[in-house]
Amino acid sequence: MRQKVLFWLSAIILAAGAVLPAAAAAAADWPAYGAGAVGAAHFAVSRRVSTTDDPSTAQPVATVRGGGAVYYFYTVYNTGTVPLTITSAVDDRLGPVDFSPATVPPGGTATAYKMKEHPAAAGVAAETGLVTVLATAEGRPLPPGIASATVVSLGQGGCCGWSATPPAPPPSGDCHTPSFPCQPRGGLSGRICAPGAPGAEILAVGPGGATTSVTIPSNGQLGYWRNWVLGNLVPGLWQLTLKVPGKPAATQTVTVSAGATSQVPDFSSACTGDATNHGSTLAGALLIAAGAAVLAWRRIRPV
């Protein structure tokens, strides 16, 4: 009896010692992401994007400015030890994907690519797509393999309506942060009465304390409207303050609309204060005096 118990106990211990390491080894073969596997059959999937048709330039994220073609490159890697058959592949943005070849030997790859024209975005639009690949190995279905990639579309002017070079450093929450839902910038335009020396300044304070200003220097003339423009403004309410030396400040609150330049009401009544141009008066008087001197000198010279 005692011998029987020892026999079965030893048998159980031996069996456990054989099975547990094999189970642990099988579990270790499961990849973390983007792959399907059963036993010795497993595979990996990638989805990469590029603005050229060269697969070597493809990356998980591509940026297209002002619209244009984007190439999507898909790859299935058979990382297992048995042949793999791709039964279906679907891109949730672009539809079915046809891999070639459909049967991938161990260590081999199957590829596919698609092209899509992206329209010019009004601001920044980020589009993340997923490809889901189903495959079988030795007649058994494998867990799906999934991969994603992102295309960032920028407007014609670049990023968030910046006309040329984005400001440095980019403000917090700006479109340079990929997760930021970018909004096109807006602008304001208006006019003020031509200021005397040294000029005038319009200070603008916007959402979140954003501040900018425009200076209108004096050109020595009064009595007519002079236009001003403020660009690259975050949409929202802005307070404008007109500062003219020697005059009280004038303020008004205006709304900046995304992607548009709004007309600001005049700060003052009509510009009707036209000053004498002392420069031209002095020039005329000097010319007459000079001419008279020349004539007088000619007259008295014979004497």
Partner 1 sequence: MNRRLMLGGLAIGAGALILLAPLAVRQFRLAEQRRMVERLEWAALRQQPRPVGPGQTQVTPPGQAPATEPEPPGAPTPATPEPDPEYLIEIPKLGVRYVVMPTIENDDLARGPGHYPGTGLPGQPGNAAIAGHRTVKGIASYFYNLHLLAPGDTIIVRYPDSTLTFTVERVFITGAYDLTVLAPTPYPALTLTTCDPPGTDEHRLIVQARLD
* Residue 275 in the binding site for partner 1 (CB under 8 A): yes
Cβ closer to partner 1: 59 or 268? 268
Query: Interface with partner 1 includes 280 (CB under 8 A)?
Result: yes
SS3 104: strand
Single out the segment in contact with partner 1 by CB under 8 A; choices: 4-12, 27-35, 135-143, 244-252. 244-252
> Closest distance between partner 1 and the C-beta of residue 246, in Å?
8
The residue within the footprint of partner 1, chosen from 70, 182, 188, 193 (CB under 8 A), is 193
Q: Which residue of 105, 171, 181, 223 would you call a contact of partner 1, by CB under 8 A?
A: 223
Peptide bond into 248 cis (omega under 30): no
Q: How far is the CB of 206 from partner 1 (least distance, A)?
A: 22
Cα(204)–Cα(176) distance, integer angstroms: 23
Q: Does the footprint of partner 1 cover residue 297 (CB under 8 A)?
A: yes
- Least distance between partner 1 and beta carbon 242 (Å): 8
269 contributes a contact to partner 1 by CB under 8 A: yes
**147: β partners:** 131
Comparing CA positions, the residue from 144, 155, 131 lying closest to residue 60 is 131
CA distance 64 to 45: 24
Distance between CA 223 and CA 257 in Å, rounded?
31
Q: 204 with 238: CB under 8 angstroms?
A: yes
**267 binds partner 1, rule: CB under 8 A:** yes
Shortest distance, position 274 Cβ to partner 1, whole Å: 5
Stretch in the footprint of partner 1 (CB under 8 A) among 40-48, 58-66, 94-102, 218-226: 218-226
Count CA atoms closer than 13 A to 270's CA, side-chain side. Answer: 2
> Which sign does the torsion angle of CA 171, 173, 176, 182 carry?
negative
Report, in angstroms and rounded to the nearest whole number, the Rg of the chain calculated over CA atoms.
Answer: 38
Name the segment binding partner 1 (CB under 8 A); options: 24-32, 61-69, 86-94, 190-198: 190-198
Pairwise CA distance, residues 124 & 173, whole Å: 13
Q: Which segments of 139-215 does DSSP mark as H helices, in order?
A: none
Stretch that binds partner 1, among 7-15, 85-93, 97-105, 278-286 (CB under 8 A): 278-286
Q: Which two tokens stand for residue 186?
A: 């807006």
Place of tokens 């040294």: 198
Q: Is 289 in the site for partner 1 (CB under 8 A)?
A: yes
Q: Using the rule CB under 8 A, which residue among 164, 272, 300, 303 binds partner 1?
A: 272
User: Considering only 71-79, 129-137, 169-177, 283-291, which stretch makes contact with partner 1 by CB under 8 A?
Assistant: 283-291
Looking from the CA of 129 toward its CB, the CA atoms found within 13 Å total 25
Verify binding: residue 239, partner 1, rule CB under 8 A.
no
Binding site for partner 1 (CB under 8 A): 193-196, 222-225, 242, 247-248, 250, 266-277, 280-281, 283-295, 297-298
